């Protein structure tokens, strides 16, 4: 395989920190969706975290612990409620308009959620993946194995709907 092909293949994948490698985590989910909007518009909705609760039902009580609301930036720390628990997250990857990732930590929970926005011939494709560790994700996987994938699909579908309207307020 040529060096150019390897670089291209690598750019189309999530860059996992070793602690969150899907091969070493008990929970790994992956969803993707084509969107009829430019990557910059999708990005604008995704980083406008304070608006998530208005369009993504699995998010609430978003509070910035550093940085300036309403948009996420590299190093932004924020507290929020998702999957019924309050987690503290830090943005660990931020490459406009293509890569965004944060960790999420709470008692019994340690996760990493990454987003990849890829330009296509038409508009873009959005990939989101998450890995989780801890006793809470293990219980969730045992009792509701598709719950995370379903809610991530809702997140993608609502992101697509909002991006189709244009830039966020």
Q: What is the mean pLDDT of residues 32-59?
A: 98
Per-residue pLDDT for 3 more than 70? Answer: no
Q: For position 17, what pLDDT does the model report?
A: 97
Q: For position 2, what pLDDT does the model report?
A: 40
Is there a domain that residue 22 lies in? no
> pLDDT tens digits, residue range 6-21?
333 456 799 999 999 9
Could you give the percent of the chain with pLDDT greater than 90?
A: 91
Distance, CA of 169 to CA of 107 (rounded, Å): 34
Is there a domain that residue 10 lies in? no
Is there a domain that residue 149 lies in? yes
Token digits for 73?
């930036």
Q: What is the mean pLDDT of residues 59-87?
A: 96
Cis peptide preceding 97, ω within 30 of 0: yes
Q: Decide: helix, strand or coil at residue 44.
A: helix
- Tracing tokens 């995704």 back to the chain, one arrives at 46
Is there a domain that residue 72 lies in? yes
Is there a domain that residue 42 lies in? yes
Cis peptide preceding 21, ω within 30 of 0: no
Distance, CA of 116 to CA of 119 (rounded, Å): 10
> pLDDT tens digits, residue range 101-115?
999 999 999 999 999
Among 138, 92, 96, which residue's Cα sits nearest to residue 116? 96
Instruction: With beta carbons less than 8 A apart as the criterion, state whether 106 and 113 touch.
Output: no
Range of the domain at 41: 29-164
Is there a domain that residue 23 lies in? no
Neighbours of 9 (CB within 10 A): 10
Per-residue pLDDT for 162 more than 70? Answer: yes
- With cut-offs at 50, 70 and 90, classify the pLDDT of residue 1: very low
pTM score of the predicted model: 0.92
- Min mean pLDDT across 2-6, 74-78, 124-128 is at 2-6
Domain count of the chain?
1
- With cut-offs at 50, 70 and 90, classify the pLDDT of residue 122: confident
β-sheet bridge partners, residue 112: 103, 131
Is there a domain that residue 89 lies in? yes
Q: What's 104's domain CATH number?
A: 3.30.530.20
Q: For position 10, what pLDDT does the model report?
A: 55
β-sheet bridge partners, residue 87: 80
Is there a domain that residue 103 lies in? yes
């Amino acid at each position: 395989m040529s060096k150019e092909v390897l670089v291209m293949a690598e750019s189309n994948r999530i860059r996992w920190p070793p602690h969150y490698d899907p091969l070493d985590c008990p929970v790994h989910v992956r969803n993707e969706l084509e969107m009829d909007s430019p990557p910059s518009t999708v990005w604008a909705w995704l980083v406008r975290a304070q608006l998530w609760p208005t369009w993504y039902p699995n998010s609430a009580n978003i509070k910035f612990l550093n940085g300036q609301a309403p948009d996420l930036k590299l190093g932004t720390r924020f507290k929020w409620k998702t999957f019924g628990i309050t987690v503290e997250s830090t943005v660990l990857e931020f490459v406009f308009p293509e890569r965004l990732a944060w960790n999420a930590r709470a008692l019994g929970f340690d996760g990493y959620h990454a987003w990849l926005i890829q330009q296509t011939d038409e508009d873009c494709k959005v990939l989101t993946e998450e890995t989780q560790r801890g006793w809470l994700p293990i219980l969730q996987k045992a009792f509701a194995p598709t719950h995370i994938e379903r809610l991530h699909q809702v997140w993608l579908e609502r992101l697509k709907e909002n991006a189709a309207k244009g830039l966020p307020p």
